[in-house]
Chain A
Amino acid sequence: MSTMLTVDDLRVSFPTRTGLIEAVRGVSFTLGRERLGIVGESGSGKSQTGRAIMGLTPAHAKVSASKLNFAGIDLLTAPAKVRRSLRGSRIAMILQDPKYSLNPVMSIGRQIVETLRTHENVGKREARDRAIAMLEAVQIRDAGRVFDLHPHEVSGGMGQRAMIAMMLIAGPELLVADEPTSALDVTVQLEVLGILDKLVSERGMGLIFISHDLRLVSSFCDRVIVMYAGKIVEELVASDLGNAKHPYTQGLLNCMPTLGTDRHPLPVLDRQPEWAL
């Protein structure tokens, strides 16, 4: 499988008044045309890893890596202009909270149409049809009506799906999806995963799927990286999650109440200082 993304010794830190916060501390992995999951508790550095790949790290933070390469392009030295144009077309990110990604003063349909037309030379009519088709593809009922609504006029789940539609219409080669389905119902969640799945298997997209839900990730991804305190503590073939070695991974798996297991009280994580070393 050809590698499209190489991340080697990625570090992200935030200088603050009380000292340096090291959000990502030496993360390394490669990605091909596959589904790679990144899991871990909140604060473990998942989003900052994704943002560094996108070039969306906050300006005051410091990013370093011994290698950060996408399709032969050195992302660390690429000019801002190159990175911006990559972001609009070949690399896309779906954020956890659609509020920050949708423009509040523009109708949902127009945002999708504009995204499409910056990438492809298509007429107005076709752009509209394809935008509506994409809204339908993310299971938005009554897509023609939703096309004309503004972000504040739809529910959170619908806004999330509209944003997914906007990201997907550009047909990116690499997609970083940061908790893309956490706000959705399980049934809708699975539909969205189905769409992402097809993009990987049919279009050969590379997918980084960030989530705190270890079980969901393992049912969906090919490989899973488990993060704790800014580091990778374990990497697993998703189907092999049951054989996780690290006590943190095992703890995350065990603490979830599942149908048919009767454990009162639930086991809780017993965090060890050496996990963060």
Chain B
Amino acid sequence: MTAIVSAENLTVTYDDFLALDTVSIDVAPGESFGLVGESGSGKSTLLRAIAGLSPVTSGRIVLDGKPLDAKYRDKAFYRQVQMVFQDPYGSLHPRQTVDRLLQEPLAIHGVADAERRILRALDEVGLGSSFRFRYSHQLSGGQRQRIAIARALIIEPQIMLLDEPTSALDASVQAEVLNLLEQVRRDRKLTYIMVSHDLGVVTHMCERLAVMKNGKVVERLSSADLVAGRLSEDYTKNLMVASKGFVRNAVA
């Protein structure tokens, strides 16, 4: 496989704390790759390291065959790689209009044709042009997440880093946003790396996944293997069991 993104023996430390411990993943072009594991296992740290936002102490990240600097990311990088976070409240400035929020990345990257792109982006995420001059604090959680996705898509990246993009949403709204993410991936042949604590969501969205624990990848498998229970780690098994809901008496 020729990977579009790989992490090679990536290590991230905060003071003395090993948040990522020699982690390696390879993601193929056009693939949707999942990261699962309990909270604190390092999933966000890995995504953020790819985006140049975590203090990498050793190892490297290779994008399109070219190794990246440990910290510095140039504009061209963000043109190619965009990130969507869990919290649609935190990631969008509440006192800005949707229009401003969508203008900003275009201005940063010097992209012409703003008018057409904004209308197209709004249309693509299922919000009409009537939303264009609303403030983000006037939007529901699902609408905000659509705007966050529109903002990431508007400069036409190839790769999207999705950190629990639907965890803060109602199930019904989650379904709409997941459908949207699948649709744009298909239309634009995007590559996704997606974090979720929900195995149902990850297996729905991703072909392959890595299971993380204490800053390490403990298992790599396909979604089909996970669904069929073909897994080797007890840790993964526990995540599986837990995802099926509460079982009386099984909990001591």
Q: Which residues of A contact B (CB under 8 A)?
A: 41-42, 155, 157, 185-191, 193-194, 197, 212-216, 218-220, 251-252, 255-260, 264-269
Q: Tell me whether chain B's interface is mostly helix, strand or loop, or mixed.
A: helix
* Residue B226 at the chain A interface, CB threshold 8 Å: yes
**B232 interface residue per 8 A CB criterion:** no
- Report the bound CA distance from A191 to B242 in whole Å: 10
Query: Are B246 and A266 in contact (CB-based, < 8 A)?
Result: no
Stretch at the interface among B17-25, B175-183, B187-195: B175-183
CB within 8 Å: A-B pair count: 96
Given A187-B239, A219-B245, A257-B203, A193 contacting B172 (CB threshold 8 A): no
Q: Which B36-77 residues have C-beta < 8 A from chain A?
A: 38-40
Q: How far is the CA of A266 from the CA of B179 in the complex (A)?
A: 6
Is the Cβ of B175 less than 8 Å from the Cβ of A268? yes
> How far is B76's CA from A216's CA once the two chains are assembled, in angstroms?
44
Given contacts A186-B197, A220-B246, contact A265 B182 (CB under 8 A): yes
Band of interface residues on B: 35 or more
Give Cα A213 to B205, complex, Å.
Answer: 20
Is B238 in contact with chain A by the CB < 8 A criterion? yes
Indicate which residue in B38, B176, B201, B251 contacts A268 across the interface (CB closer than 8 Å).
B176
* Cross-interface CB contact of A259 among B170, B172, B179, B199, cutoff 8 Å: B199
Q: How far is the CA of A216 from the CA of B227 in the complex (A)?
A: 19
Q: Is the CB of B246 within 8 A of A190?
A: yes
Rounded to whole angstroms, the CA-CA distance of A191 and B38 in the bound complex is: 14
Given contacts A212-B171, A266-B178, 8 further A-B contacts (CB under 8 A): A185-B39, A187-B242, A190-B251, A194-B246, A197-B248, A259-B199, A259-B244, A268-B176
B227 cross-chain contacts in A, Cβ below 8 A? 259-260
Interface centre among A190, A197, A214 (most CB of B within 10 A): A190
A185 CB to closest chain B CB (Å) equals: 4
